[in-house]
């Protein structure tokens, strides 16, 4: 990243961070819009890490998002497990960083457990289908989880904790910046070198001393960790975590599309894609509510036709043309 | 050249795919600082032999050992870290990386900790194969000849004791072939790396190698100096067919 673009990024983040202090901003439409853009940008970064940089197309992001969301909801609202604490202090887990990290860790642990068998045996499309199957299995397990998961209805967290959207906005922005910085640092390190090597040529990577299974599982787990933390943040927003909401395929499909539109395997592509695509989705939802999936679908088709490598590479193409 | 230390030893190696025996009872020993040519007609089992040594295939029977240690069937990345580097017949470079990054993979991971100063090792390896000027070029934009050189640079950056070259001259023109011969000689002279070199360009092998092994239909039919091998009756028959009676 050049000096100039670094300064631009710092200024943009600073302005966004100060935005909630603007009178009326918190109640404006664009405020919740920006919160959702940041949430989706984090999910897109999560997918980009394993698929864009790692070359392993995962279709299981929604499972890890849901695992993070459920972990938070169960910890927070598991009053049958540690009822007294919850009854006296209903807010105790609201935006608790440890709870959020645990959401990430549970998702990452699941990714390691499922990633070891899947990634050692399956490649390419087959791995993708395996992760899709895993998502369905997790959903069924949570539907049938009895009191522990709240069954088909899910778990309700104490919505009385809600006061303002400000903390959601700041945490979303913070996560978006933190994942981008972490992935930037990772890709400049020797681990990034191994990840790209595995993506470019797995056989050559292992012939050059790279333990390819370890690299792939680590990327899968890192991606799951990010998705789990995002799911945890969503719990603090939605307060009702149910199998149909947090295990919805949209939590995988939308970030995937956003990343592809923005630029797979680029640092800012997922953020740019999340901004552009969420704007298209939301605009279509408001202007033509009956047809909004059609508009969204058309946008994706057009993007694939005319920007097959994503928005981030348009500038590059213009420069070399 | 008589080796004082055996690096690689194959003992009674057999590889069968279903009913097809691709390698049968192969014994080969590679000593320190040896340059051995491995030739044979198409389908003789040369590439399979490489894949058995680098653990891409496990042998059906037999044993592969390196510096006296049994390495039969261990993971490919561990083979590299022990000090056996290789190149591929269909060249395999990391296409989205620069030349330097490719070589860094060898220096950082392939070496298994032997290389203390990876950047210096990578720079030296690029220089040895004559690619210093293309250091920051993306590999996808490089010519086949340069990519073959890059594979060798990546391999030697990992400071191996043994380098397996799988048809490094395939697809190269005469000028590039001469460059490759020079590089192979330099790798041996400057680094003292032993090489096992599969090649279809038999004349190049005969000129450069001190010892030649010939495979045919999965059997080792000759092992000796270039002069011995070219006069070996079995070798002549394998390449030209049986003489008319």
Q: Could you read off the pLDDT of A216-251 as tens digits, one per residue?
A: 999 999 999 999 999 999 999 999 999 999 999 999
> Would you call B57 an interface residue with chain A, using a CB distance cutoff of 8 Å?
no
- Rounded to 5°, the CA angle B170-B175-B176 comes to 40
A111 to chain B, closest Cα gap in Å: 23
Q: Name the nearest CA neighbour of B196 among B22, B1, B34.
A: B34
Within a domain: residue B136? Answer: no
Least confident of A99-108, A151-160, B167-176, B215-224: A151-160
Q: Name the nearest CA neighbour of A203 among B59, B87, B129, B137.
A: B87
Domain boundaries, chain A: 36-248
User: Which residues in B116-125 are b (16+ Cβ under 10 Å) and which e?
Assistant: eebeebbbbb
Q: Name the nearest CA neighbour of B76 among B120, B38, B109, B33.
A: B109
pLDDT at B140: 95
- Residue B189: count of CB within 10 angstroms of its CB: 10
Q: What is the pTM of this model?
A: 0.92
Distance of CA A154 to the CA centre of its chain: 21
A196 to chain B, closest Cα gap in Å: 8
At A93, the pLDDT band (50, 70, 90 cuts) reads confident
Residues on chain A touching B75 (C-beta within 8 angstroms): 206, 211
Within a domain: residue B36? Answer: yes
**What does pLDDT average to over chain B?**
92
Answer for the pair B238, B41: CB distance below 8 angstroms, yes or no: yes
ipTM value for the complex: 0.91
HEC-encoded secondary structure of chain A: CCHHHHHHHHHHHHHHHHHHHCCCHHHCHHHHHHHHHHHHHHHHHHHHHHHHHCCCCCCCHHHHHHHHHHHHHHHHHCHHHHHHHHHHCCCCCCCCHHHHHHHHHHHHHHHHHHHHHHHHHCCHHHHHHHHHHHHHHHHHHHHCCHHHCCCCCCEECCHHHCCCCHHHHHHHHHHHHHHHHHHHHHHHCHHHHHHHHHHHCHHHHHHCCCCHHHHHHHHHHHHHHHHHHHHHHHHHHHCEECHHHHCCCHHHHHHHHHHHHHCCCCCCHHHHHHHHHHHHHHHHHHHCCCCHHHHHHHHHHHHHHHCCCCHHHHHHHHHHC
- Residue A30: count of CB within 10 angstroms of its CB: 10
pLDDT at A292: 79
Answer for the pair B105, B154: CB distance below 8 angstroms, yes or no: yes
Within a domain: residue B51? Answer: yes
Residues on chain A touching B104 (C-beta within 8 angstroms): 193
At A320, the pLDDT band (50, 70, 90 cuts) reads low
Percentage helix, strand, coil for chain B under 3-state DSSP, each rounded to 5: 40, 25, 35
Residue from the list B76, B94, B158 with its beta carbon closest to the beta carbon of A197? B94
The answer to whether A209 contacts B81, with C-beta atoms less than 8 Å apart, is yes
What angle in degrees, to the nearest 10, is found between the helix axes of A3-18 and A166-188? 160
Residues on chain A touching B92 (C-beta within 8 angstroms): 201, 203-204, 207
Within a domain: residue B204? Answer: yes
At B2, the pLDDT band (50, 70, 90 cuts) reads very low
For an interface test with A, the pick among B97, B102, B105 (most A C-beta atoms closer than 10 Å) comes out as B105
Report d(CA B231, CA B224) in Å as an integer: 11
Give pairs for B12-17: CB < 8 Å, separation 24+: B12/B61, B12/B62, B12/B63, B13/B49, B13/B52, B13/B59, B13/B61, B13/B62, B13/B63, B13/B64, B14/B59, B14/B60, B14/B61, B14/B62, B15/B45, B15/B48, B15/B52, B15/B57, B15/B59, B15/B60, B15/B218, B16/B60
pLDDT at A80: 52
At A145, the pLDDT band (50, 70, 90 cuts) reads confident
pLDDT of A60 over the 90 cut:
yes
Answer for the pair A175, A227: CB distance below 8 angstroms, yes or no: no
Answer for the pair A213, A27: CB distance below 8 angstroms, yes or no: no
Residue from the list B76, B101, B108 with its beta carbon closest to the beta carbon of A207? B76
In which domain, by residue range, is B43 found? 6-94+163-240
At B1, the pLDDT band (50, 70, 90 cuts) reads very low
Q: Token pair 């790396």 is at which residue?
A: B193
Answer for the pair B162, B193: CB distance below 8 angstroms, yes or no: yes
Within a domain: residue B110? Answer: no
Q: Mean pLDDT, to the nearest integer, of A139-167?
A: 89
pLDDT at B3: 43
How does pLDDT run across A247-279, given as a tens digit for each residue? 999 999 999 999 999 999 999 999 999 999 999
Report d(CA A276, CA A258) in Å as an integer: 8
Q: How many CA atoms lie within 13 A of A137 on its CB side?
A: 10
> Would you call B106 an interface residue with chain A, using a CB distance cutoff of 8 Å?
yes
At A316, the pLDDT band (50, 70, 90 cuts) reads low
The answer to whether B105 contacts A203, with C-beta atoms less than 8 Å apart, is no
Report d(CA A189, CA B97) in Å as an integer: 14
For an interface test with B, the pick among A53, A208, A216 (most B C-beta atoms closer than 10 Å) comes out as A208
Helix (H) or strand (E) holding B76: helix B76-82
Answer for the pair B196, B212: CB distance below 8 angstroms, yes or no: no
Report d(CA A320, CA B138) in Å as an integer: 15
Report d(CA A197, CA A57) in Å as an integer: 16
How does pLDDT run across B111-162, given as a tens digit for each residue? 888 888 999 999 999 999 999 999 999 999 999 999 999 999 999 999 999 9
Distance of CA A116 to the CA centre of its chain: 21
Chain B 121-180, CB below 8 Å of chain A: which residues?
Answer: 154-155, 158
Residue from the list B77, B95, B101 with its beta carbon closest to the beta carbon of A206? B77
Q: Token pair 């594979």 is at which residue?
A: B151
Q: Mean pLDDT, to the nearest integer, of A50-54?
A: 96
Distance of CA B180 to the CA centre of its chain: 13
Answer for the pair B214, B222: CB distance below 8 angstroms, yes or no: yes
CATH code of residue B216: 3.40.50.300
Q: Work out how many domains chain B is built from and give that number.
A: 1
At A86, the pLDDT band (50, 70, 90 cuts) reads low
At B205, the pLDDT band (50, 70, 90 cuts) reads very high
Distance of CA B51 to the CA centre of its chain: 11
Within a domain: residue B79? Answer: yes
A212 to chain B, closest Cα gap in Å: 8
């Amino acid at each position: 990243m050049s000096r100039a673009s670094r300064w631009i990024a710092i200024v943009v983040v600073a302005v966004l961070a100060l935005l909630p202090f603007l009178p009326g901003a918190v109640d404006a439409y664009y405020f919740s819009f920006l919160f959702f853009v940041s949430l989706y940008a984090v999910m897109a970064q999560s997918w980009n890490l394993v698929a864009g940089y790692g070359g392993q197309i995962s279709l299981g992001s929604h499972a890890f998002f849901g695992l993070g969301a459920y972990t938070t909801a169960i910890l927070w609202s598991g009053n049958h497990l540690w009822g007294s604490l919850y009854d006296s202090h209903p807010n105790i887990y609201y935006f608790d960083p440890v709870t959020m990290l645990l959401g990430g860790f549970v998702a990452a642990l699941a990714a390691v457990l499922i990633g070891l068998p899947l990634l050692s045996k399956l490649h390419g499309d087959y791995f993708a289908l395996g992760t899709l199957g895993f998502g369905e299995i997790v959903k069924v397990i949570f539907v049938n989880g009895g009191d522990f998961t709240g069954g088909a209805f899910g778990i309700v967290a104490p919505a009385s904790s809600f006061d303002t959207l400000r903390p959601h906005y700041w945490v979303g922005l913070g996560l978006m910046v933190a994942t981008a910085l972490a992935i930037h640092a990772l890709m400049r390190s020797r681990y990034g070198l191994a990840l790209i090597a595995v993506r470019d040529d797995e056989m050559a990577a292992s012939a050059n001393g790279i333990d390819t299974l370890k690299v792939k599982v680590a990327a899968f787990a890192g991606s799951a960790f990010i998705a789990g933390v995002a799911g945890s943040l969503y719990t603090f927003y939605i307060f009702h975590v149910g199998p149909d909401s947090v295990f919805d395929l949209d939590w995988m499909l939308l970030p995937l599309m956003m990343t592809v539109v923005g630029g797979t395997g680029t640092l800012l592509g997922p953020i740019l894609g999340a901004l552009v695509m969420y704007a298209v989705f939301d605009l279509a939802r408001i202007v033509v509510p009956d047809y909004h999936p059609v508009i969204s679908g058309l946008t994706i088709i057009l993007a694939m036709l005319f920007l097959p490598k994503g928005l981030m590479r348009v500038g590059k193409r213009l420069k070399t043309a | 050249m008589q080796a004082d230390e055996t690096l690689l030893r194959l003992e009674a190696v057999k590889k069968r795919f279903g009913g097809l025996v691709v390698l049968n009872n192969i014994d080969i020993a590679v000593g320190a600082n040896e340059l051995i040519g491995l030739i044979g007609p198409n389908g003789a089992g040369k590439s399979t032999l490489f894949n058995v040594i680098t653990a891409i295939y496990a042998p059906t029977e037999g044993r592969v050992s390196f510096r006296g240690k049994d390495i039969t069937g261990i993971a490919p990345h561990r083979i590299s870290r022990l000090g056996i580097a290789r190149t591929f017949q269909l060249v395999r470079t990391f296409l989205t990386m620069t030349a330097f990054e490719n070589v860094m993979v060898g220096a950082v991971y392939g070496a298994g900790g032997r290389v203390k100063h990876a950047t210096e090792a990578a720079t030296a390896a690029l220089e040895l194969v004559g690619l210093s000027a293309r250091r920051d070029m993306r590999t996808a934009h490089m010519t086949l000849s340069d990519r073959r050189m890059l594979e060798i640079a990546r391999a030697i950056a990992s400071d191996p004791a043994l380098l397996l070259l799988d048809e490094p001259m395939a697809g190269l023109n005469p000028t590039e072939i001469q460059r490759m011969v020079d590089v192979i000689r330099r790798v041996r002279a400057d680094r003292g790396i032993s090489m096992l070199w599969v090649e279809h360009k038999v004349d190049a092998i005969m000129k450069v190698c001190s010892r030649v092994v010939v495979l045919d239909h999965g059997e080792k039919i000759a092992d000796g100096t270039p002069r011995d091998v070219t006069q070996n009756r079995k070798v002549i028959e394998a390449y030209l067919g049986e003489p008319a009676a």
